[in-house]
Amino acid sequence: MKIKGKVKFISQDKTKFFPTLKQRVDEYFEQNNLSKHANASMVIKTFILLAGYILPFIALLVFHVSFPASLILWTIMGISVAGIGMSVMHDANHGAYSSNDTVNYLVGHTLNLAGGSVHNWKLQHNILHHTYTNISGMDEDIADRLVLKFSPHSKVKWYHKFQPFYVFFFYGLLTAYWVFLKDLIQIFQFSKNGVSPLTKSETILAVLKISLFKIAYIFTLLVVPSLFFSIPLYQVLIGFFLMHFLEGVILSFVFQMAHTVEGTTHPMPNNENTIENDWAVHQMNTTVDFSPKSKIISWYVGGLNFQIEHHLFPRICHVHYPQIAKIVEQTAKEYGVPYMVNETFFKAMKSHLSALKKFGTMPHPSEVIV
């Protein structure tokens, strides 16, 4: 990924959309005497998801269950750790979980339970993705990966037309790739291209910290069951990668269904490295909500189905997004700003696959890269 300097958002038509919206959202919290951070239901959800990840692993070690039963436990772990990523660590690493920085720090490090790196995640997600949403070369979340193409601006290869079919498999590899390779590669990339504020010596210390966390993660989930509890290594490996496959598919689809769908834009900076649009309006053009009426989906995905509200107000805990969404939609309507929603999960998934098909359309034969 190439970071081409800092991109600025400059709108020729000054809009009061976001100042008005921010004022209305602030008034909502003040009038209802609500904190913008987690409430009791959020804390309960945190413990439920953590228990769904930790307790099956303990059961796996203690009860010496059959191989088929162990796969069920690994499946529960995969579903739960994906929920932790979307609902718990996500809010905490945005500073939205609590007004206490220490609480956010500790809860944010639940990412380590998935073998990830908080340092890298904040750089990729909070800085690059949230600031430069859907801007090719800046937003890491839409960077092409192996045989997957997420932007209309990157080159098309012959196999991209098949990506709606093979995307499920490669999404399943995502978190395992994070654990074993991506974080260590990425920290040096971020240092080289100026995204990371760390000095060379600080980067080395960060690499050591990340490596230690990953060694502890791999040792706990792969070595401990086999070495200390006599579970056959092949069973542990199959269960481990089943967990990561489920986690990868869930996380990838949920995040991509908010940006890589029909109707969103992928603007490119002009020669002066400027996006000719207001930042908030840019977020509205590049982001889509989905399944807003589903309480089950909203609970599990941590409000990431209210991605518009999250991008505009990332420091507000997701439990408040259903109410904020009403304010955002009404204000957008008043100012003539797009507010895009896919009403169901399956409609959003279909839209995502359609976008992948569109991006993978073969160009003129002379442009094909072999």
- Total-model pTM: 0.92
In angstroms and rounded to an integer, the radius of gyration of the C-alpha atoms of the chain is 21
According to the model, what pLDDT value does residue 366 have?
A: 44
pLDDT digits over 285-301, tens only?
Answer: 999 999 999 999 999 99
Angstrom distance (rounded) from CA 260 to CA 149: 10
- Quick one: which H or E segment has residue 290? strand 288-290
Angstrom distance (rounded) from CA 69 to CA 75: 10
Average pLDDT, the chain: 92
Q: Please give the angle made by the CA atoms of 238, 239 and 240, to the nearest 5 degrees.
A: 95
- Of the candidates 45, 6, 46, 23, the residue with the CA atom closest to the CA atom of residue 274: 6
**Residue 92 pLDDT grade (very low, low, confident, very high; cuts 50, 70, 90):** very high
According to the model, what pLDDT value does residue 193 have?
A: 83
According to the model, what pLDDT value does residue 196 have?
A: 86
- Quick one: which H or E segment has residue 341? strand 340-342
CB 301 within 8 A of CB 282: no
Instruction: Give 169 or 136, the one with higher predicted confidence.
Output: 169
CB 85 within 8 A of CB 252: no
What is the DSSP code (8-state) at residue 369? B
Read off φ and ψ for residue 282, nearest 5 degrees: -60, -40
Angstrom distance (rounded) from CA 120 to CA 108: 12
According to the model, what pLDDT value does residue 2 have?
A: 53
pLDDT digits over 27-77, tens only?
Answer: 999 999 999 999 999 999 999 999 999 999 999 999 989 999 999 999 999
**Residue 205 has which token pair?**
């210390």
Q: Distance of CA 154 to CAs 124, 157, 220, 270, 363, Å?
A: 19, 10, 40, 17, 12
Say if residue 111 is exposed, middle or buried (CB neighbours under 10 Å; 0-12, 13-18, 19+): buried
Amino acid identity, position 200: K
Q: Which residues neighbour 328 within 8 Å (Cβ) at sequence distance 6 or greater?
A: 21, 25, 308, 309, 312, 339
pLDDT digits over 131-148, tens only?
Answer: 899 998 888 888 888 899
CB 291 within 8 A of CB 343: yes
